[in-house]
Amino acid sequence: MAGFVVLIVGVVTAFDIAFGYGPVWIVVAFVVAMLLTWGAYFKSDAIALRASRARPASREEFARYHNLVDGLCIAGGLEKPRLYIVDDPAPNAFATGRNPKHAALAVTTGLLEKMNRVELEGVLAHELSHVKNYDILVSTIAVTMVGVVALLADLGFRMMWLGGGRRRSNNSGGAAGGLLLVFALIMLVLAPIIARIMQFAVSRQRELLADASGVQLTRYPPGLISALEKLKEDQTVVRSATKATAQLWIESPLDEEEGHKQAKMNRLFQTHPPLEERIRILEEM
Amino acid sequence: MTALIIVAVIVVLLILALVFMYNRLVRDRNRVDNAWSQIDVQLKRRYDLIPNLVETVKGYAAHEKETFEQVTQARNQAMNAQGAHDQANAENVLEGALKSLFAVAEAYPDLKANQNFLNLQEELTSTEDRIAYARQFFNDSALAFNTRIQSFPANIMAGMFHFTEREYFEADPESTGPVQVEF
């Protein structure tokens, strides 16, 4: 969070140096990004559920799913979320909804088939923890911040193409002014990328937190561990998952090469920590 | 004049803090009470499921009379138990009786394939889970409440308004104690 503030301040400074425009643009960018993402935030559950083609899970058909969630909600003193099913052979699950009152869980039919009772319980506890920890809110704020930075940087480039405003460097002049300008431009180029990396870092952190609080609900780490082991071995990929919904799922639904060695650079852009690492941390509990 | 305003502000803030503290205590106490009644709700659910289960198993294993009687008796005892201690004991007996009932069912493949039996088994397993989870939530809430009323400065207010500590629900010492090995 503080990182985002620093980043935005950095971009603002870069702006100021390059074009002589001040905080006015920042306010504009912030308001635009806020409106865009917070509109989506209030519809987040409906959008995510529709995007992954989820259908409501009836109690008759999915008794075990309902029963396990009932139990976990009692354990955490939570309201029961709405439950959905995604018809897909790949085992995966996600939680959505802006607060515990508007929460929804979705699991794939593959998950229900491949997991036994304790494993399924571990996964559901992880998802419920996302709800309990307000992770949708956290990721919405992260996305908003990324949006602000991206908009600002974009604005900066447009202004440059258009002959770039009233340059202040003319007055300050000299080599120092020129160097400062170069720095400012580099900042504008890098800022959106840095913002993305930070957003993914937040997402990875929340995943680890959800693992930990999930175990706090079940008091049984082996359940989630063995579920993650199964996810590691399984290579099927959720069909209806897109980049936009990737950070919602319990296991990153996109990368097929999970388990292979990933380049350090690539790891910066992952929404989830590697399964090996998550399992290792859980085993230490 | 300024001094008066400062004093007034401090007094108002103090009163607000006290009100907030009191409300917080009430909220925590209610949560503990609610957690306790949740356990009863789940126990009742288990009592309701048992007759169905016994009837279903009877249809396939009629001559296991002794086990049925044990379960039915344990259920009645648990339902009529007075006081937390007695009830905990009776619940333990009931849990044991149910386990032997399911052990009996293992010997009847037809029964194990019966959809009704499978549904009941799922319901009962999840009810057992819920009982355990309700107890866990009760203990978590009681821990939070006890810590709050023991901590300064809430302990002063807790003393004034008779907020008393809650006892934790403890597992049966027989089932958690060290295993005795005899040679």
The pLDDT, as a whole number, for residue A141 is: 76
Mean pLDDT of chain B: 85
CATH 3.30.2010.10 residue spans of chain A: 45-135+202-283
Please answer yes or no on whether B129 and A67 come within 8 Å at the CB atom: yes
- pLDDT at residue A163, rounded to an integer: 56
Model confidence at A30, pLDDT cuts 50, 70, 90, reads: confident
Taking CB atoms and an 8 Å limit, are A74 and B122 in contact across chains?
no
Nearest to A223 by CA among A76, A80, A125, A108: A125
Above 90 in pLDDT, residue A72? Answer: yes
Chain B interface mutation, best of A74, A116, A213, highest count of B Cβ atoms under 10 Å: A74
Mean of the pLDDT values across residues A98-107? 88
B126 contacts A64? CB cut-off 8 A = yes
CA-to-CA distance for A78 and B133, rounded, in angstroms? Answer: 12
Question: According to the per-residue pLDDT averaged within each range, which of A241-255, B29-43, B162-176 is highest?
Answer: B29-43
pTM of the model: 0.79
Of A70, A84, A57, A77, which is closest to residue A121 (Cα–Cα)?
Answer: A70
- State in words which class domain A45-135+202-283 has: alpha beta
Residues of A in contact with B120 (CB under 8 A): none
Cα of A218 to nearest chain B Cα, Å: 8
Predicted confidence at residue A234, as pLDDT, reads 81
Contacts with B31 from chain A: Cβ below 8 Å: 77
- Which CATH class, in words, describes the domain spanning B32-167? mainly alpha
* Chain A hits for B41, Cβ within 8 Å: none
Q: State which residue of chain B sits closest to A218, comparing Cα positions.
A: B133
Cα Rg, chain A, nearest whole Å: 22
Residue A274: in which H helix or E strand, if any? none
* Residue B103 in this model has a pLDDT that exceeds 50: yes
Banded pLDDT at B116 (limits 50, 70, 90): confident
What's the mean per-residue pLDDT of chain A? 79
Element (H, E) at B165: none
Chain B residues close to A64, C-beta within 8 Å:
122, 126
Note whether A71 contacts B126, CB cutoff 8 Å: yes
- Cβ burial of A162 (10 Å; 0-12, 13-18, 19+) is exposed
- H helices of A103-134, in order, are 109-114, 117-132
Owner of token pair 């354990």: A75
> What percent of the residues of chain A are helix, what percent strand, and what percent coil, each to the nearest 5?
70, 5, 25
ipTM exceeding 0.85?
no
Nearest by CB: A71 against B35, B122, B129? B129
Query: A71: distance to nearest CA of chain B, Å?
Result: 5
Instruction: Using CB atoms, pick whichever of A63, A71, A117 lies closest to residue B119.
Output: A63
Which range has the worst mean pLDDT, A160-174, A193-207, A211-225, A240-254? A160-174
First to last CA, chain B: 87
- For this structure, is A283 an active site residue? no
- Which of A61, A113, A119, A127 is catalytic? The answer is A127
What residues of A are in the B interface, CB distance below 8 Å? 63-64, 67-68, 70-72, 74-77, 117, 219
Q: CB–CB of A75 and B133 under 8 A?
A: yes
Does residue A259 surpass a pLDDT of 50?
no
Task: Give the β-pairing of A104-108 and A93-96.
Answer: antiparallel
Whether the pLDDT of residue A115 is over 90: the answer is yes
Contacts within 8 Å (CB) and 24+ apart, B56-65: B56/B111, B56/B114, B56/B116, B56/B117, B56/B120, B57/B101, B57/B104, B57/B105, B57/B111, B57/B117, B59/B111, B60/B105, B60/B108, B60/B110, B60/B111, B60/B114, B61/B104, B61/B105, B61/B107, B61/B108, B61/B111, B64/B104
- Choose among B31, B125, B134: nearest Cβ to A74: B134
Residues in A touching B133 (Cβ below 8 Å):
71-72, 74-75
Q: What is the length of chain B? A: 183
Residue-level pLDDT at A244 = 57
Written as one string, the DSSP assignment of B86-140 is: HHHHHHHHHHHHHHHHHHHHTT-HHHHH-HHHHHHHHHHHHHHHHHHHHHHHHHH
Q: Which residues contact A123 (CB under 8 A, 6 or more apart)?
A: A93, A107, A111, A115, A224, A227, A250
Two structure tokens written together for A206: 């929340």
- What percent of chain A is modeled with pLDDT above 70? 79
Q: pLDDT grade, residue B30 (50/70/90)?
A: very high
How many helices (H) and strands (E) in chain B? Answer: 7, 0
Q: What phi, psi does A208 have (nearest 5°)? A: -65, -40
Distance (Å) from the alpha carbon of A80 to chain B's nearest alpha carbon: 13
